[in-house]
Amino acid sequence: MVSSGSWLGLDQCTELTGYGHDDETKGCSSNASSQNAVTHYTTQLTVKCERELEPGFIFILDQMLPKFCAKQCEKGRVESVQPVPSRWVGRFFLAAVLLLGTYIRRMKLSPSAVNESNSTMAMLLSLTLHSFPTQQPSEWPGITVAVSVAVYLSCALGRTVHVILAYRAVMKVLCPTQQQFGALPLTVLILWLTCVLRLLNKNVRHWMEDELVEGNGGSTLSSWALLNDRELKFARIVMFTVEEINRDTKLLPGLSLGYRLYNGCGDENLIRAAVEAVNGEDSKGCADQIQALLGHSSSGVSKDINIILSPLSIPQVSHLSTCACLSDKRQFPTFFRTVPSDRFQIIGLVQLMKYFDWRWVGIIYSQGVYSEEGTMAFAKEAEKEGICVEYRLPYSKTHVKFPAIVEALRKSSSKVVLLFLPFTKSFLSEIEKYNITGKQWVGSEAWITQTDLASDRRKSILQGAMGFALPQASIPGLGEFLLSFKPSDEPQSAIVKDFWESFFDCSFSPSNTSATCTGTEDLSTVSSDYTDVKHFRPENNLYKAVYLVAYAIHALLQCHNGSNPTTGKSCVTKDQVLEHIKYMNFTTQSGAKVFFDENGDSVAQYDLVNWQIKDDGSVEIVNIGQFDTSLPEGQKFKLKDNTRIVWGGNSIEVPRSVCREPCPPGTRKAIKKHKPVCCFDCFECPEGTISNETNSPDCLICPPEFWPNEKKDQCLPKPTEYLSYNEIMGALLTGFGCVGIFLSLLTSIIFRTHKETPIVKANNSELSFLLLFSLTLCFLCSLTFIGRPSEWSCMLRHTAFGIAFVLCISCVLGKTIVVLMAFRATLPGRNMMKWFGPAQQRLSVLSFTLVQVVICVLWLTTNPPFPRMNMIYYKDKIILECALGSAVGFWAVLGYIGLLALLCFILAFFARKLPDSFNEAKLITFSMLIFCAVWITFIPAYVSSPGKFTVAVEIFAILASSFALLTCIFVPKCYIILFRPEQNSKRHLMGKIPPRTL
């Protein structure tokens, strides 16, 4: 890793946006020279100069060998581009030396003596040391600066104290001797503080572990001992790929690709190397033949290179620059990359969280553009999917805030932690000291495949970690090619020798401290990035980049008569290479597909990997899924079938990480103010409403015919309520009705059998039989009120009830009139019975009944009763009832019955004291009294009774009034007929009539 400053200056550097994982942390510093004091390499790939317009391309190799920045590199293949010292440093140093010499020569003069010549000379000496020129980064410039600043400040402080004491006339306290030695302790103190702060800032151990080179004022001595063998591996891959292409007889037939390495020190010189490679002329005179540029690993350097080279229409292809900002084709029109943009990694991480339902996560990120922009992009994308970030904790190598990170991890409720760190080893080295358990670590592509992170103490932490990595590829022959490398392959290269010395800890020069290198050592015995040939992930991107340019040039060479058949222009021009790369679509020999979208981004493919630590302590990074943006929606992210996944925290099942468990169906979600959307409350749905999905924001009202179930997660049809034959109440009422019918028929049979007896003939047997028939109808009509209401049953029950009761009351009224007329007929001179004989009795009954029939006909024709679902009285059930239709018709029927009953009661009441031995008027009076009482109490009960009880009240009134008439009028007669036949005689019925005086 290397901190990248922009060669355009600090203001330009702040414009580096994006969050790509590169070979840098994308920090910005005004001290560009110190930050970029590392070595970079470029590779120029050209073809042999065998024809005009021979194509070629360049590879920019990043920080392969920081140590040999100033060395003369390998000739022919490696050319050095040396950094130019700043002129103002030399001028300032020369001025300081001249000023010091002048002061030494004239220090005996009075002005010098007055100004304390010793301290003044020391101050000038410190300025000279401060401006001491240095070209190579080392420890000495920093120490020189520290000493010079300490001496200068001590002298300045001593002179100030001297002036104050001189003014107060206490010079004896601070004589020249005290002045000279008084500055010494202060100088030592400032120097000690400077060294301590430098060591704290540098944190050498973690820089060494992470191979991080930063020029922020700290020592770079440790960095100088590091050799970036991964970049050496990249250079060798370019060589391997070029040789493979040259061996291919179908690709670029008749042409051979070559390459050239450029050694540039720092980002500025790396860009200069790229410009020189593009515009320079090689030993064969092939000038201006560069057709494409390969590189750089760093997004910041790639941006700067593309800004310079895009006006030349030279396409640039990067294998590791992942910053999303480079997808802007308006700013970077000629930039392409074979590595996915980090924008896709963010989308993949969000889809991973969504797949496992991790809605509450924490993020630990480093301070730098890469991690900060990545963290912000993840939080923004996660919010779209309903995923919340509990905390975002910045981590720095100074570990000043590390206790706060540990405390937050212990108190947090989220189980999933996203590590967005390019230098994870230093973080893990610290976190392993604390007992942080139960966390599922999710990593970015920057570190998730670095198996060297797993020390003995870290294995429990990294067990089950998962994240996205660049797809693993198989490149036949590449592993053997890399491991077969020997110093004898490049005998003139000092760089190769130094790599070899670092690999095997030996020396080609005689040395007493290390063994002697033979050059025949076996690379397969070395564990490093270069010798890791089991998995090719970023290496495959470089492999594809070289093939991309080769295929583009091959397509352009398929011309006829010197012109391109598509454009009509010359066969090979820079513009045509750029245009062809845009539409290039091919498959390499390793099976990798290469094509670009409209932003110059290749298809985003990631492997979802899982850390699985075996019992023997070895680490296996298992591919458990993939994320492929080329697949249709819904299929981009998927896990492999029958794949064993190890979870963090020694969990045997998927960790649960939510701020609040989802609101189950039957409840609604209420967002809390000033809280993340993942933290909410769940409230039960109100009565009559449901929610049939998880985390429903609102509850839905059920349709009128439906009602929620107990869980309130679905609407069920409301249960219907009506008086049925199957329930107890309906069965009892049906039984009573049937008993009434039976008794009525039985009474009719008894009267029919004894129709010639005096007690049957006494009150017009014809009316008695008609009354028994009407009572039978009354009992029968009660049965029509039981059962599910229908259109015909609703009309029948009310009309049959009204007509049957009017017929019954008419018969009773007729019998009452007969009793009265019979009493009047016994008086002398009165012959009332001729006016109310059998014909008149029949006519009166028919007339009274006909009136009720007319009322019922009018009711049925205008607004008849109809079945209705009453959903007002009860909320949770439906009452099936018969609506009255016309309330006037209903109350007219009841009112007419009541009028006849009242008239009958009055007449019977007047005849109650007639002197007959068997006075039927008394029985009628009592029956009418019960009848009226029943129907008077019926009205309020009918109005106030709910549902089926309304029907039950009406049936009860019908049965009670019918039984009252049957019992009061006919039971005494049946008793005499059956059990007192001696009283069933005319003499006994008539009795003696006392004489009346007029």
Nearest to 464, CA basis, from 347, 613, 596: 613
Where b means 16+ CB within 10 Å and e means fewer, 493-518 reads bbbbbbbbbbbbebbeeeeeeeeebe
Nearest-angstrom CA–CA distance, 566 and 549: 18
- Amino acid at the residue 326: L
**Residues linked to residue 259 through DSSP beta bridges, in sequence order:** 45
Work out whether strand 257-265 and strand 78-81 pair parallel, antiparallel, or are unpaired. Answer: parallel
Structure tokens of 689? 């409403």
Q: What does the angle CA 267 – CA 271 – CA 273 come to, to the nearest 5 degrees?
A: 115
Nearest-angstrom CA–CA distance, 614 and 596: 40
Integer CA distances (angstroms), 775 to 25, 251, 323, 962, in order: 104, 113, 99, 6
Q: What's the pLDDT score for residue 363?
A: 94
Handedness of CA 504, 505, 508, 510 (dihedral sign): negative
**Residues linked to residue 256 through DSSP beta bridges, in sequence order:** none
Nearest-angstrom CA–CA distance, 750 and 757: 11
Place of tokens 């059962």: 787
Where b means 16+ CB within 10 Å and e means fewer, 704-715 reads eebbbeeebbeb
CB 652 within 8 A of CB 644: no
Q: What does the angle CA 934 – CA 940 – CA 944 come to, to the nearest 5 degrees?
A: 130
Low-confidence stretches of the chain (pLDDT < 70) are: 1-154, 156-227, 258, 260-270, 277, 280-289, 369, 399-400, 559-575, 763-764, 822-837, 911-921, 987-998
Handedness of CA 946, 949, 955, 959 (dihedral sign): negative
Structure tokens of 739? 């008993």
- Give, to the nearest 10 degrees, the angle between helix 887-910 and helix 791-825: 20
Nearest-angstrom CA–CA distance, 229 and 333: 32
Handedness of CA 837, 843, 845, 851 (dihedral sign): negative
Q: What does the angle CA 429 – CA 449 – CA 228 come to, to the nearest 5 degrees?
A: 80
Determine what percent of the chain falls in helix, strand and coil, rounding each to the nearest 5: 50, 15, 40
- Amino acid at the residue 394: P
In DSSP notation, 654-679 reads: PPP--SSPPPPTTEEEEEPTTS-TTS
- Amino acid at the residue 413: S
Place of tokens 């630990």: 364
Structure tokens of 655? 């960790």
Q: What's the pLDDT score for residue 36?
A: 29
Nearest to 228, CA basis, from 494, 44, 40, 402: 40
Structure tokens of 51? 């024809």
CB 277 within 8 A of CB 77: no
Structure tokens of 312? 């030349």
Nearest-angstrom CA–CA distance, 523 and 714: 69
Q: What's the pLDDT score for residue 691?
A: 93
Handedness of CA 270, 276, 279, 280 (dihedral sign): negative
Where b means 16+ CB within 10 Å and e means fewer, 135-164 reads bebeeebbbbbbbbbbbbbbbeebbebbee
Structure tokens of 412? 């947090």
Handedness of CA 91, 94, 98, 104 (dihedral sign): positive
- Amino acid at the residue 79: E
Nearest-angstrom CA–CA distance, 39 and 501: 18
DSSP class of residue 646?
A: P
Place of tokens 């060395």: 71
Sequence-ordered alpha helix ranges (H) in 203-341 = 204-210, 221-224, 229-247, 266-279, 299-309
CB 925 within 8 A of CB 912: yes
Integer CA distances (angstroms), 206 to 210, 223, 431, 433, 722, in order: 6, 11, 13, 15, 83
E-state strands within 725-792: none
Place of tokens 């000379």: 121
293 by DSSP, 3-state: which?
strand
Where b means 16+ CB within 10 Å and e means fewer, 81-102 reads bebeeeeeeeebbeebeeebee
Nearest-angstrom CA–CA distance, 825 and 351: 108
Nearest to 788, CA basis, from 741, 726, 875: 726
Nearest to 32, CA basis, from 14, 12, 11, 6: 6
- Kindly report the backbone phi and psi dihedral angles of residue 292, in degrees, each rounded to the nearest multiple of 5, phi listed first: -160, 160
- Number of neighbours of residue 227 by Cβ within 10 angstroms: 23
Q: What's the pLDDT score for residue 323?
A: 84
- Dihedral Cα 340, 346, 352, 353, nearest 10 deg: 170
Handedness of CA 257, 258, 261, 262 (dihedral sign): negative
Run of H or E residues at 866: strand 866-870
Structure tokens of 242? 């070029």
- Kindly report the backbone phi and psi dihedral angles of residue 629, in degrees, each rounded to the nearest multiple of 5, phi listed first: -75, -10
Nearest-angstrom CA–CA distance, 752 and 289: 134
pTM: predicted TM-score of the whole model, two decimal places: 0.60
pLDDT tens per residue across span 494-551: 888 888 988 898 988 887 778 889 989 999 898 888 898 888 888 999 999 999 888 8
Place of tokens 């020279």: 33
Q: What's the pLDDT score for residue 37?
A: 26
